[in-house]
Structure formats: C-alpha cells, structure tokens
Amino acid sequence: MNRRRWLKRCTAGWLWSGLIAVLLGGATAIAPGAKELLPDEISVSQAKARRDAGALMLDVREAGEWEQVHIPGAVHIPLGRLEERAGELRRNREIVVVCRSGGRSAMGRDILKKAGFTKVTSMAGGMNDWKAAGYPTVQGR
C-alpha cells in the first residue's frame, strides 16, 4: 500500500473513531482554537459554579422582581430591553441568563445567541430554585 493511500485510510479511521466517541458521549476535549459551546440550559448548582468561576449572571426580570431579590453581582437588563442593550455586554465573557423560574431566561439566551453571543446559557428553575438551594441573594437596587 502506498503512503498516500495509507494516510487516507488512517485519517478516515480517526474521523470515524472521533465521530463514534462524540455520539457515545465519550469525547469531551475541545480542539485548540475552537469555541466552547455551553448547553442551552444548566441547573442552579451548575450556574452557581459558573458564577463562582467568573461567569456573568444576567437577570432579565422586571425591575420590581429585581428589587425584591437578586443574585449578588448580577447585571439587570429586563427581557423587553435586552435586544437593544445587548451591546452593553462583553461577548467574550460567559453569561448565565436568569429569571424567576426559567422561561424568560431561555428567551433571553436566545436573544443573545441571535445577536452573536456564543458563551451564553440559561439557568433552569430561576431565582425560585436559587433561593430554595440557599444560595446568596440581596435585595434592593
């Protein structure tokens, strides 16, 4: 077998083994230079871990809800204004979108993805589950 044919066969073998690993869930490494894709939605405990690691918590609830209780250090942009204010957010920072129970945060995540953000996810269960887990909260502005 000539060298060219051998290289072609080896390359095909590696591609198939990589594809199989991905389909079976065994491949977790990301190629150098590739952007990490976050899952569309993460749990409250995963969101807290990402916050502790430096992710921005973006609260998309209305002002009254925000003033009642929110995550310390979170940024508040109501969902209805997110599209026009998305430029205020850094695209290279990981963002976890938060609301009361998880519905509006998914919409906020989708608005940001449509605007070209790639490091964005939403928190399932919202502030209801965050408070129930006993994670830190603050009141007021």
Question: Strand 120-123 relative to strand 41-42: parallel, antiparallel, unpaired?
Answer: parallel
Active-site entry in 99, 120, 123, 127: 99
Residue 99 appears among annotated catalytic residues: yes
Catalytic annotation, residues: 99
